[in-house]
Amino acid sequence: MRSDIFLQYSCEETSEESNKKYDRILLVTCISSFIALIYSLTIYYLRVKAFVDVKIFDLSTVTAGDYTVFLELD
């Protein structure tokens, strides 16, 4: 034996409540976009800084091996 119950109701809200929800969603979206922008800029800065640090390290550790060639003579 199977029983089905159907319930129907309507959800009504005022335009003031809708505007309040819209404002909250807009605020969350703006904050999320700002965080994503800061994150992207931070990653870009770290990549550029690492590249510069590698070049500085390479320049500060110049040795004779950088300018010589090993050639075996028979």
Task: Give pLDDT, residue 72.
Answer: 86
Predicted model pTM: 0.59
- pLDDT for 65 beyond 80: no
Question: How confident is the model at residue 70, as a pLDDT?
Answer: 79
In this model, does residue 71 exceed pLDDT 90?
no
Could you read off the pLDDT of 19-56 as tens digits, one per residue? Answer: 999 999 999 999 999 999 999 999 999 999 999 888 88
Q: What is the pLDDT at residue 69?
A: 81
State the Cα–Cα distance between residues 42 and 48, nearest whole angstrom: 10
Percent helix, percent strand, percent coil in the chain, to nearest 5: 65, 0, 35
